[in-house]
Structure 1
Amino acid sequence: MSSQLLPLVAAEMLQPADPRAAAMAGAIAAQYPHAARAVLFYGSCLREANLDGLMLDFYLIVSDYRAAYGKSWLARANALIPPNVFPFEHNGLIAKYAVLSEADFARLCSPAADNVSVWARFAQPSRLLWAVDEDARARAIAAVAQAAPTLLSLALPMAEGQDALSLWKAGFTLTYQAELRAERKGRSLSIVDADPDRYRRFGEAALADGLPPSPEQAAQRWRALQRRGKWLSVVRLAKASFTYAGGIDYLAWKINRHAGTAIVIKPWQRRWPLLGAVTLLPRLFRSGSIR
């Protein structure tokens, strides 16, 4: 485990967050009394002083999917195409939370991941707002501590500069190309520009500890991540039409918020959300709303 980066990650994750977000994390965990291990808060809402009207983002880490769902088909769906995502409301706030097992969370933060979705997010700031015990807390922090080295090692062969900030910017630009994204062009760079000191410190610590070996064919690796990432985005969207109540409205809200569009969901699209989402995709690609 990295000697310089791990304390930085632990200190950041254990910082206090908005008490309402912390209460929501506890309420999410309470739904899974036999499986919940940790709840992490991440995303743009970390930087917001007023959470009213925003969609908060959480990850619920569970011991395993059978313990979380019993024999339900949700356990098989979560194992086959992780994560499952669910909407949540608590004390006037709205959120969505993704469910991963401890094993999947550790794998998807590491270079062994076959897509960018988890390590790209947890290379950014997050908060550990609830843990069932110290072992769960340590495991969650150790998993997140893999995310930054994973991103930076894959960015290293592709970056124009070799300093920490150049690596971060190259890495985030590449990850945004590996998912269907609603954010405007340049969003990947603004992540670093919003807190360059944080990214410099974390990047230099990761570099000092030694990064995981970069793949010999880095460009080929990124092409594979981009192909799989966009395919997975579509598959997860299809799955969410069964697991996420109001998922198509959330999709429209997120795209409108980030891309400045004015998509209005029609009644038939709510009635058949999978078909509605599929018919929405070509228009979004043509408009550049998602990339």
Structure 2
Amino acid sequence: MSELKPLIAQELAQPVDPRVAAFAASIADQYGEASRAVLFYGSCLRTTELDGQMLDFYLIVSSYEAAYGKSWLAGANRRLPPNVFPAEHDGLVAKVAVLSEKDFYRLNRVGASAVSVWARFAQPARLVWQADAAAQAQAVEAIAGAPVTLFDMTFPMMGVDTQYTILDLWKRGFELTYGAELRAERKDRSGSVVDADPERYARFGPAVVAAIAERDKKRGKTLKIVASREAVEKRWQQLRRNGKILTLARLAKASATYAGGIDYLAWKINRHAGTDYVIRPWQRKWPILGALVMLPRLIMGGAIK
């Protein structure tokens, strides 16, 4: 049996700052019995810096109807997942993305229409709140698809007749995923994710390869035919196109769910790209129009790739 799922379970169970755990519990409490798991991930997890930062959580719910009742938010979350909301607790602030258990599993697999979920959960995360043991097991099962998807989509994109380390594979994979979204980070950010904890990626890499081999064996295959580079390049082109469109669509949706969303967007861009973009009052009044005006300028200026 592959060691991937045990490695993921161990990593998810690692302790976090008590304030993060308390924040997660407060998020879960807002959604009552619909809450299944709260995951903490992103730059604040890597740096352990919390004060003055925007924390990143994923809230996993049993279903959107259970989470929102008859609200229009259930349909919005289903059609364009995830919904994203601001949250505050004990002096800390965060953004909370909401997914159902079904969508969380699906969006960590290779058939996902965009990279946003599996790209993030191929990286370290912590399970900072869970409803029960079944919710914990479901989270591990869902997340196990993320690094496998990353490797499946990266292997064919590596050069021929060149020797690589397992860390090179991870870096190339994250480089591809960063290119498939509207990102404010600098060009070296994808590599710095791996460099922040190379031992982790060196440890997980062989387990991911073993999981892929085990998957193919279970399917009854005696020979693994790797997809052609041309076919995978076309898939990456589709993912890049989808990623840009979905970013804009989610931004438009966030104007109805996320007060101050355009200010957060500007803050994140300025922080990662070293820019000093200032939001004007009219952009706060009409955030969708303000974002549509803002994004092309930032893309042309190179702040967003």
What is the TM-score of this pair, normalised by structure 2? 0.92
1:52 maps to which residue? 51
1:104 maps to which residue? 103
- Cα deviation 1:238-289 (Å, max 9, x = unaligned): 1111111100000000000000110111111111111111110111011101
- Distance (whole Å) between structure 2 residues aligned to residue 256 and residue 19 of structure 1: 29
Alignment of structure 1 residues 97-176 onto 2, 5 Å: 97-160=96-159, 161-176=163-178
**Contact 2:46/2:196, CA 8 A, preserved across alignment:** no
- Distance (whole Å) between structure 2 residues aligned to residue 47 and residue 99 of structure 1: 22
In the alignment of these two chains, the number of paired residues is 290
- Alignment of 1:193 with 2:195, yes or no, is yes
Provide the secondary structure at the position in 2 that maps to 1:34.
helix
**Contact 1:155/1:171, CA 8 A, preserved across alignment:** yes
Provide the secondary structure at the position in 1 that maps to 2:95.
strand
- Cα deviation 1:40-86 (Å, max 9, x = unaligned): 00001012344110100000000000110011110000000000000
- Distance (whole Å) between structure 2 residues aligned to residue 282 and residue 123 of structure 1: 29
2:212 maps to which residue? 210
- Distance (whole Å) between structure 1 residues aligned to residue 69 and residue 255 of structure 2: 21
Provide the secondary structure at the position in 1 that maps to 2:263.
helix
- Cα deviation 1:69-105 (Å, max 9, x = unaligned): 0111100000000000000000000000000000000
* Cα 1:26–1:56 shift into 2, 3 Å: same
1:256 maps to which residue? 270
- Distance (whole Å) between structure 2 residues aligned to residue 193 and residue 92 of structure 1: 30
CA drift of 1:169 comes to: 1.1
- Give the partner amino acid of 1:98: A
- Distance (whole Å) between structure 2 residues aligned to residue 118 and residue 49 of structure 1: 21
- Distance (whole Å) between structure 2 residues aligned to residue 10 and residue 162 of structure 1: 28
Q: Which runs of 5+ in 1 are unaligned?
A: none
**Contact 2:118/2:150, CA 8 A, preserved across alignment:** yes
CA drift of 1:113 comes to: 1.1
1:280 maps to which residue? 294
- Distance (whole Å) between structure 2 residues aligned to residue 209 and residue 60 of structure 1: 26
- Give the partner amino acid of 1:168: W
**Contact 1:159/1:166, CA 8 A, preserved across alignment:** no
Structure 1 residue aligned with 2:233, among 214, 219, 228? Answer: 219
2:24 maps to which residue? 25
- Give the partner amino acid of 1:250: Y
CA drift of 1:210 comes to: 2.4
- Distance (whole Å) between structure 1 residues aligned to residue 294 and residue 136 of structure 2: 40
CA drift of 1:141 comes to: 1.1
What is the TM-score of this pair, normalised by structure 1? 0.97
CA drift of 1:34 comes to: 2.7
- Cα deviation 1:113-171 (Å, max 9, x = unaligned): 12100000000000000011110010001111111111011100002355421211111
User: Percent identity over the alignment?
Assistant: 62
- Distance (whole Å) between structure 2 residues aligned to residue 162 and residue 150 of structure 1: 19
- Distance (whole Å) between structure 2 residues aligned to residue 259 and residue 132 of structure 1: 38
Provide the secondary structure at the position in 2 that maps to 1:38.
strand
2:2 maps to which residue? 3
1:70 maps to which residue? 69
- Distance (whole Å) between structure 1 residues aligned to residue 204 and residue 152 of structure 2: 13
- Distance (whole Å) between structure 2 residues aligned to residue 184 and residue 173 of structure 1: 11
- Alignment of 1:244 with 2:258, yes or no, is yes
- Distance (whole Å) between structure 1 residues aligned to residue 300 and residue 235 of structure 2: 27
- Give the partner amino acid of 2:268: K
1:266 maps to which residue? 280
2:79 maps to which residue? 80
- Distance (whole Å) between structure 2 residues aligned to residue 74 and residue 267 of structure 1: 27
C-alpha RMSD of the superposition: 1.3
**Contact 1:36/1:61, CA 8 A, preserved across alignment:** yes
